[in-house]
Amino acid sequence: MQLETSPNTTAIIEGKEYLFFSGTSYLGVSMLPEFQELIFKSIKKWGISYGSSRNANLKLDIYQKGENYLGDFLNYEDAVTVSSGTLASQFALRSLDTFVDDFYHMPKTHPSILPDRSSPVFVGFTLNSSLKEVKNKTICIVADGIAALETQPFLFNFLQEISSTNTIYLLIDESHSLGILGKNGNGISTTILSTKNLKIITVSSLGKAFGINGGVIAGATDFINSVKKDPLFIGSAGMTPAFLESFMQSQQIYARQQEKLKENIAFVSTKLSHLKEVSMSNNYPVFFFKDGKIADYLYQKNILITSFYYPATPQKINRIVINANHTKEQLEKLVENLIAFSQI
């Protein structure tokens, strides 16, 4: 299906309007006039792009200011921005690959953060025996903050079963949790129990909940410095500087939209909690419907959801997304149709 305009709570297909419960604009900021005005003002100041190496002798000060802000916001020692979340993942992996002995990945890890050489953390429902046995090594475990087909973050209690003689790097992709979960939307990383041998690195797109094109890597200063020394980083232009300034200026908008989103999630979860076909949580704006026919049914009712084969899962996903701008009337129509379908 080809959308004829950028969607908000509705979308246009062949001149017909549909309710839109798809995408990743969880806070719904990209279509807010107030947010767009901040973007326009920043573009007038910084231009649409800045095609210079971040390591050049002449630098825009907005990068340092924005990255200091992001480091504080994410509760890390340091941070650096790049042009996309996927590139953030790749830069982090490239740096880790220079000193990590063994990589492991959590279930349903997104392809952008999946190392070429990696073993599963779990074999079936049991911790990989090699993780239990490894000692005196530097290992890295990669995970999504919210994995595909999940509505809650992973628990990392299994880290306690790994020998403390190892240095463990935990690389977390927060693209689908940043802006939604954690204190003020700073993600799940700060909720993970810190230990002396555990080093956490966050990578994320800023283009989902926060509505700006760009990506971020956050961690200890020595690791961020290793990213900045990567020849590919040196040869690349940074993210659009106007977007970085807009992120800093939009915190009140984000906070307001977060509250609206919480209200919308609570409204829907209360009404759908009895449906066995629905997989959802009461604090996350994405939920899944098990019956593969639901997308076609809702389409006939002028409602659009996400339905496709996701790279990290073997089955087709039917992903329903609530954003902060949905009205109670729109949410009610969605709920009524989901209940009606479950009764067929």
- CATH classification of 50-239 is 1.10.1060.10, yes or no? no
Which CATH class, in words, describes the domain spanning 10-32+252-342?
alpha beta
Mean pLDDT confidence for 66-90: 97
Residue 312 has a pLDDT of: 61
Write the DSSP string, 290-311: S-TTHHHHHHHTTEEEEEEE-T
Q: Which residues pair with 167 in a beta bridge?
A: 138
pLDDT tens per residue, range 91-119: 999 999 999 999 999 998 999 999 989 99
Residue 1 has a pLDDT of: 77
Write the DSSP string, 112-155: GG--SS-EESEETTEE-HHHHH--S-EEEEEEESS-TT-SSPPP
162 vs 2: which has the higher pLDDT:
162
Query: 327 vs 35, 70, 260, 322, CA distance in Å?
Result: 19, 31, 10, 10
pLDDT tens per residue, range 276-315: 999 999 999 999 998 889 999 999 999 999 988 776 666 7
Q: How confident is the model at residue 316 (pLDDT cuts 50, 70, 90)?
A: confident
Write the DSSP string, 282-293: TT-SEEEES-TT
Residue 125 has a pLDDT of: 86
CB 37, CB 57: distance < 8 Å? no
**E strand residue ranges, 115-254:** 119-120, 122-123, 126-127, 138-144, 167-173, 198-205, 215-219
Domain with CATH 3.90.1150.10 in the chain: 10-32+252-342
Residue 313 has a pLDDT of: 65
Domain with CATH 3.40.640.10 in the chain: 50-239
Among 316, 280, 258, which Cα is nearest to 26's? 258
Q: How confident is the model at residue 58 (pLDDT cuts 50, 70, 90)?
A: confident
Task: Using the predicted structure, report yes or no on whether residue 209 has a pLDDT greater than 90.
Answer: yes
CB 180, CB 211: distance < 8 Å? no
Task: Using the predicted structure, report yes or no on whether residue 61 has a pLDDT greater than 90.
Answer: yes
- Token readout for 298 is 């809702």
